[in-house]
Amino acid sequence: MLYNVVEIQEILPHRYPFLLVDRITDLKKGEYIEGFKNISISEPVFQGHFPDHPIYPGVMIIEGMAQAGGVLAFKSMTNASREEIANKVVYFMSIDKAKFRSPVTPGDQLVYKINVLKNRGAVWQLDAKAYVDDKVVAQAELKAMIVDK
């Protein structure tokens, strides 16, 4: 384990119920990150999606992958101080080639694997995949930019 949820909250501004990364397990600055979210029936989203057939929404999977990508972008800022990072936020620019391959349900562990396709200054282009039991359940190309708050 590299970062637990408390340490992730020092990096990302997201909080319950919208912090969608529980742990970061691997990271190589400027190259890739791996982390996960445990999917529980106690997630607020399952009250309406769907009451008798709980399916974790695809948009939440995309957001979780983006949050993991945000951790990667922030941790790849080699010369930035903690204070400088605290005054920045990551904004989504685009989501391309999104595909949802299999439903995610309570009890699953959603593993995010994000690889850098390009990085030019504050702009990051990422290849993002989400897995359950080593099977790809979702994938997308994400583009984001680090900006001042």
Show which residues are catalytic: 49
SS (H, E, C) the chain: CCECHHHHHHHCCCCCCCCCCCEEEEEECCCEEEEEEECCCCCHHHHCCCCCCCCCCHHHHHHHHHHHHHHHHHHCCCCCCHHHHHCEEEEEEEEEEEEECCCCCCCCEEEEEEEEEEEECCEEEEEEEEEECCEEEEEEEEEEEEEEC
